[in-house]
Chains A and B, each alone.
Chain A
């Protein structure tokens, strides 16, 4: 049972585009982890770039999305790889291909974790590739637009019910999720058109691809941070093994996994900036984070927190008063612009398209504790995180990367705390629906924080020395 060659190409082209962009930004590839990062980060960057290109060139002929988009992808990829080649001229690939010595136990752990990862990916990938889209919101929200667009041949705009009723002669559509962002719709169109038909099993395997890509990217980035190969592989296994992550691949179709890995990848790149002051990684982190609102509405919140943390890092202390004034002006400006649509009362907030949130205490602590600590969604993750934070509390003071990352996640979780405990969204926690999915969106970032906290002191000192010596230099070689 084969697939169209174009479908294979649809999987490889993102690596060409994104891998080229990543390699061009990275400069000479020096670390063993760089190959994994090039492929993993490259696929994620590339698939979003391909979707954006598709949106630009294929709206009027969606059934031919792939045919109309691939030449642009090849062009961008060729340029990117050209720049990457120019930047790495004269660099030997030998260090990349060298197999580093590792202790016997470490080597066994590395292989064991890899075996477990591959087994898991085969299981959940097989499940995703077998059946048509299954979970409720997947077909009622996230696949509605791409299916309608692909089968009709046109990307007709989705509008509210009032507009739809008012314009019976116009080629517009409506759905409950009419205002949901559309980046994932174009990712699905990319794969569907390459497969030669609207085929959900072939489209949904992209969820598995996204997780594999993040795993590769994380491996590469964490190796560059100086973590031992076996520890990095165990961390990747820890993420891949989480039951709710697996469920979102096996029952592909929800956007939460994409938000999670996009935010996680932005945090990975930002961490590299924090550790090595590589400005290309900072630009990459911000660019990837900007895709968050295009995936899911709550991505806007994660983006805002992330950008605030990035700004907090970039603004020197002596300019803080200036930055605060600017921030206040920006907030006032945003409020002025949105005051007609967002209504804030002393005990309620009304946000169009998100809903009205009554502000009052809701006792959902039991349900949240059950979600995190007793239901089989997260293995022992939420037992381990507090222990790790306590054991490595000194790092939160001494390591700027750990401190900033910890602060960012603290704000993210504080947002979820307010959402679940003080608004009517508490129902999502009480009925065990959205609460876990919102937590899922932060989980890859939690693993990034864990990797930063587990970094050996020698690696932190090496990166500090390297940063002080040459602010824009690439990652130093770190002993395995």
Chain B
């Protein structure tokens, strides 16, 4: 009996140490924060979008023109190093929005944005001490919300919500432990990197690994079993298997909760839709619309006509999505054909997607000197002629 009590005490003590290590507890810090700055929701004001104070809260009623909303608060030089723990609480925050913390310092007045876990309705805590930019004197702090990138069609992302309160705490055990809980069990959205490496699919610095901590916790149990009960092969093996199974289950339940959260985002957009509507509902609506516009422009053109698409170099994702939406048109990326110089096939189509390089860059003006400029009938007479999202040339060599 005594050995069992000793076993339980030893395991609990070790697990506590492990938890404190995982939370990066500062041993010199108090359990509760010595200093804290609390901000009621109504103290924030809308920068993008519209919002109104509702009792102590700020009710955010509409997003800005680009589907983003931002609410901020001036702080007059709060020392960042003294307040490394962020607390935030929202109400009715939609699944379809992502949340970022935005701040500026007196030393670096440009905005810094950090993605935060989805807030839900509970109070969340975030450790800012691992953000390199959280230094100096904070002169403004705010929250930005935008439709989940590449997942939610921008126009469907926003629904009204409320900022209940926010706060900045000095270092404390409670703050560190709650920040760890938010990190481990918070809801993060799918990203393009999720199929490569989960846990690396956000740029936000993360807490110590839950997987490592659970593995260490299981290892601690096994070591104490060995020390206190000795090596009794069969019982030890069964015990080890049970500990391993429980550890796996803990990790899997945490993962399942994350999966559930991600699924709710997807369901919020797609569940009401028919199969055909689901296929048409994409997050990059502007790119799809541009592709549809080009397709309409080329309706007299054989589907097999070769099309080379160009856009500015830093926009590879948009370019590839544009070509994807353009299918079954026979389009390819111009950059891959650039090596042939002006030896392009006579009569092929060159499309500029959201780029005015055809008129601003000498290279293109020389290359297209003898080419035919095709444009949409609806826009050629309009004032936006040179700002069209797509500009089309039929390539001709010099005569």
- On A, residues with C-beta under 8 Å from B are 1, 3, 116, 119-120, 123-124, 126-127, 130-132, 134-136, 139-140, 144, 147-152, 156, 161, 164-166, 168, 171, 173-176, 195, 197-202, 234, 238, 241, 243-244, 246-248, 250-251, 254, 371, 373-380, 383-384, 432-437
- Complex contact B279–A373 (CB within 8 A): no
Asked, given contacts A247-B194, A377-B198, whether A139 binds B324 with beta carbons under 8 Å apart, the answer is: yes
- Complex contact B197–A433 (CB within 8 A): yes
Contacts of B94 in A (CB 8 A): none
Can you identify 11 A-B contacts, CB atoms within 8 angstroms? Answer: A1-B275, A123-B260, A135-B192, A135-B194, A198-B279, A200-B279, A241-B252, A376-B198, A376-B255, A379-B255, A432-B197
One of B150, B212, B256, B269 near A119 (C-beta < 8 A)? B256
B209 in the interface, Cβ–Cβ < 8 Å? Answer: yes
Contacts of B212 in A (CB 8 A): 373-374
Q: How large is the interface on B (under 10, 10 to 19, 20 to 34, 35 or more residues)?
A: 35 or more
Q: Most chain-B CB neighbours within 10 Å: which of A130, A131, A151, A436?
A: A131
Top-5 shortest CB links A-B: A168-B345, A374-B209, A151-B328, A432-B197, A375-B199
- Complex contact B270–A131 (CB within 8 A): yes
Asked, given contacts A131-B278, A380-B244, whether A175 binds B260 with beta carbons under 8 Å apart, the answer is: no
Asked, given contacts A165-B344, A373-B212, whether A433 binds B196 with beta carbons under 8 Å apart, the answer is: yes
A120 to B257, CA, bound (A): 11
Contacts of B211 in A (CB 8 A): 373-376, 378-380
Asked, given contacts A131-B266, A383-B215, whether A165 binds B345 with beta carbons under 8 Å apart, the answer is: yes
- On B, residues with C-beta under 8 Å from A are 150-151, 190, 192-200, 209-212, 214-215, 218, 244-245, 247-248, 251-252, 254-256, 259-260, 262-263, 266-267, 269-271, 274-276, 278-279, 281-282, 303-304, 306, 317, 320-321, 324, 327-328, 330, 332-333, 336-337, 340, 343-348
17 other A-B residue contacts (CB within 8 Å) besides A123-B260, A161-B332, A241-B255: A131-B266, A131-B269, A134-B192, A152-B328, A168-B348, A173-B332, A175-B332, A195-B275, A199-B275, A200-B279, A244-B197, A250-B262, A250-B263, A251-B190, A254-B195, A373-B211, A376-B254
A174 to B214, CA, bound (A): 48
A contact patch SS? helix
- Complex contact A130–B259 (CB within 8 A): no
A171 to B304, CA, bound (A): 6
- Complex contact B306–A168 (CB within 8 A): yes
A151 to B331, CA, bound (A): 14
Asked, given contacts A134-B150, A376-B210, A432-B200, whether A161 binds B255 with beta carbons under 8 Å apart, the answer is: no
A241 to B275, CA, bound (A): 28
Least distance between B326 CB and chain A CB atoms (Å): 10
- Complex contact A375–B266 (CB within 8 A): no
Asked, given contacts A119-B256, A246-B259, whether A164 binds B195 with beta carbons under 8 Å apart, the answer is: no
